[in-house]
Structure formats: C-alpha cells, structure tokens
Amino acid sequence: MVDPASQALSVSNHVSTDGSLGPEVAAFDAVSSDRDAFRFEVENPVSDDPVSVALTIADRLPILYNLDARSGNRYRSHFLRLVGDGEDVSALGVLNQQNVLAQIGDDVIIRYEPGTGCADRHRIRVCRPASEQNNDHPNQSRHDVRYLPLRITVFSRPGRATLASAVSDSDQTLRLPSVADIQPSGHVLIGSGDGGELVHYAGTNAGAGELTGCIRGVAGTAPIAHAAGAPVVYSSTTPSASKTDIEADLTSVNERFAQSGIKVRRPVTIDLGGAGSSGRVLPPAVLAGYRFPSVFDVPNQEPPTDSEQAVIALRSLEPNLIEIFYVDHMYKIDDSAQAPQHGYSRPALINNSADPRAQNFAVVSSARKVLTVAHEIMHLLLNDGHRVGDPRTALFNESTTDSKAPDSTKRIGPYPDATAAGVGVFDTSKIRASAETLPG
C-alpha cells in the first residue's frame, strides 16, 4: 500500500521490455520484481459487477483500467509502472496501458465510482516534496525531489574563408571575400596546424570585406606573412546549437533522471551570445576545435588542455552548478585525424589543481547523440570514469546510443541488468546526494 501522506510513486528504472512488470492479466496475489510497479485495489462488498478505476496524470485524458483479479470482495488491476518517455509508453503495446507517462511533480489521480452519484478519489504525487530530504536506499517511494542546477553556454560555429589578398607580418587589416557572417570582434586563425597565426581583430568593414584593428601573432603564435588564398577560420554568427536543440537535450535529461527522482532546476540560464543569439565568440584555443584528453588518468591526470583552460576561464565560481558548453567540433588531443567526438566531462576526481572551476562541467559537440548530455552529467554526479561491466542498457555505458528505445543506454541503477553485472547498485542514491552538493 502507498500512503499518500508519506510516500509517492516513482518513475521506474527497469528496462520496459525485460518482463519484470508481470503479465497483462496478473493473479490477485501476484508480485512484480519491479520495485516501482504498482496496482490498484478496490474493496466492493455489494456488487459482482465488473470493477474499473480511472487514472489521470497531469492534463491528459483519463485511462480506464478493469480490475480483473479478485479475492472475495477485493479486486486488483494488473501491474503498472510510470515511465519517462513515449518510447517506454509504447514498449508493451498501447492497449493494456501498463506503462504510463509521468514526470516528477505530476499528480496521479485515481478515481473509483462504486455507484451513480458517488465517487472515491485519491491523489498521489510523483516523488515527495524536496523539503523532506529523504534519500533512502532502495526505498524510492519516500524519495524527495532533487533539483539539478545547470547553466548552458553555446559557442558559435567556426566559419571558413580564405584571404582575399596577401598580408605582411605587420598589416593591421585583413581582407576576406566577405565578413557578413563573422562576429563583430574576436579572433581568426590564418593557416593551419602548428604553423598557423592567431590574430585578434577589433572590428569589421562590411563594405570592404575587412577585419580592422588587428593585433598580430597573439596567444603564443608569431606574426608572419600570408599569401592570398591562405585559409582563415573565424567565429561565425551561427550558434553551435539552437535554443530548441538545447531544450530537447534538457527534456532528455529530465526523462532519464526522473528514474532517480532528479529534475533540472528551472529556469536554466542559456547563454547564446549577444544580439541575435549568434553564439559566444570562440576563444582562440577553440577556433580549430575543442581538444581534450583521451582518457582519465587518475592520479596522474595531465593539466587541462588549452581548450579546457579557455572554457575554465569562463566558468562560474558557484560550487554547486553544473555547466554545459556547446561547441561545433571536438576531438581527442592525440588524434591526428581529429575525428569528431560527442562529449567530454571533467568530474572532480581529475582536477589536480586548486581551481574549483576546473571540475564539474562538460562540453558537447554538434555530433552529440540524444543521450550525450545526460550521460556526461552522470560522469559528474558519480564523479567517475567509465566502468567495466556497465550493461548495454545503462546510461553510464561508454557507447551511448542515439536512441530512446527501451533497451538503449538510458537506465540508472539499481535495475536487474546492472545488478547482474555487479554495477550500479548505489548509483541512484549517490547521484541524488551529488545533485544536492556536487563532488569536489
């Protein structure tokens, strides 16, 4: 029995197609191995007529359930579970409605009408109020809501052009075929590889296609002469992700972390740059792509790369704020082919510096998958690198899938696949504690 005064319903961790919920028609005394499964029970001493109950969540239409299992004058429904996304809702078919869509904070309203003109109505919430501060393991029915503080920064996409005319090593004006999609001020990279030159420009002359007020050879590069046609990389006026893209990622985060009673705290600050939401101007060290280490190497982690240092410099000093940075392209620092990567996070365990900004942030690229942001947040909350044994259905699995299918990488332990693999038993309780106070 769920006591609405002290308990709540929870979004299930289980893989929806693993058979743990039980059959569509369950015996009266049947049990489910899904600890978050529930069923309705009605006591009706006066009627042998079929008994049904209506369930309503949020503003969606009621779902009618027949209570087919009977013992004396008590009737029970089949087992139900709350799930976080439409893919799980349809996993067992839509006719029996065993998987029901819900979000943290929803009210589940159960209505039973034993006769004309009378009705019995109960309300149970999804997760307990945040003020209750209960992180019992593994009793999710008493878990309070934990809010995850996030801040989003979106860099612009790099643009590419060529010099329209040759320049000496001292020219303070650069001419391009067009400066229509270049940021009003910033940096450009002329040339490529280690032989490139970084230039800071103070303004643009649209009519002449010029970058003006140039300071040559910045950020450790040397001013050199360049021929007409030399490649130029600049910070464009197109963001690497739109607000719609970001909201879709935040929706996926909420869907995934609902199974642990965690929800993104609103409002989320989203920095899309200046006028026109063109994205933040790319720092010099990110113009050619965001470079990051190939692996976590604790306790011998190398110092942050130049790209990481550029992002760290923009970070907040707020100790309990996760920051997500969006870039167009990112690659491993030792990969000469610069193959695009999906994302990379810096949990506290790899921060060998005294700077608290060098931890608890993640960078994701335009190549990210639907679950990449949620996966990188798992790294930060667990304060860990990839583990041996995480099953294919785990959100923390190294090979994140680009799908929300029931058997994709979207589950947070404990659940049967993870328990069988010997991992994830305390993941929910650990990340809930970290959502309140980030590791550091």
By CB atoms closer than 10 A (0-12, 13-18, 19+), residue 105 is middle
Give yes or no: residues 200 and 166 share one domain: yes
Is residue 17 situated within a structural domain? no
Note the pLDDT tens digit of each residue in 173-226: 999 999 999 999 999 999 986 779 999 999 999 999 999 999 999 999 999 999
Residue 116: predicted pLDDT: 65
Helix axes 427-436, 372-382, angle to 10 degrees: 80
Residue of 314 and 45 predicted with greater confidence: 314
Is residue 319 situated within a structural domain? yes
CA neighbours within 13 Å on the CB side: how many for 350?
Answer: 27
Q: Is the pLDDT of residue 260 over 90?
A: yes
Note the pLDDT tens digit of each residue in 329-350: 999 999 999 999 999 999 999 9
Whole-number Cα distances in Å, 424 to 36, 58, 329, 415, 419 = 17, 31, 31, 8, 7
pTM: 0.95
The percent of residues above 90 in pLDDT, for the chain, comes to 86
Give yes or no: residues 246 and 365 share one domain: yes
Give yes or no: residues 356 and 253 share one domain: yes
Mean per-residue pLDDT over the chain, rounded: 94
Q: Are residues 307 and 266 in contact, defined by beta-carbon separation less than 8 angstroms?
A: no
Give yes or no: residues 429 and 398 share one domain: yes
Residue 95: predicted pLDDT: 66
Name the domain boundary from 114, 144, 174.
144
The percent of residues above 70 in pLDDT, for the chain, comes to 98
Give yes or no: residues 118 and 248 share one domain: no
Q: What is the CATH number of the domain that holds 338?
A: 3.40.390.10
Residue 117: predicted pLDDT: 67
Total count of domains within the chain: 3
Give yes or no: residues 321 and 187 share one domain: no
What is the domain extent for residue 218? 160-236
Helix axes 243-257, 372-382, angle to 10 degrees: 50
Residue 96: predicted pLDDT: 72
Note the pLDDT tens digit of each residue in 227-240: 999 999 999 999 99
Is residue 65 situated within a structural domain? yes
Is residue 36 situated within a structural domain? no
pLDDT-based confidence at residue 114 (cuts at 50, 70, 90): confident
Is residue 15 situated within a structural domain? no
Give yes or no: residues 109 and 166 share one domain: no
Give yes or no: residues 216 and 253 share one domain: no
Give yes or no: residues 247 and 196 share one domain: no
Give yes or no: residues 296 and 373 share one domain: yes
Of 109-118, 201-210, 422-431, least confident by mean pLDDT is: 109-118
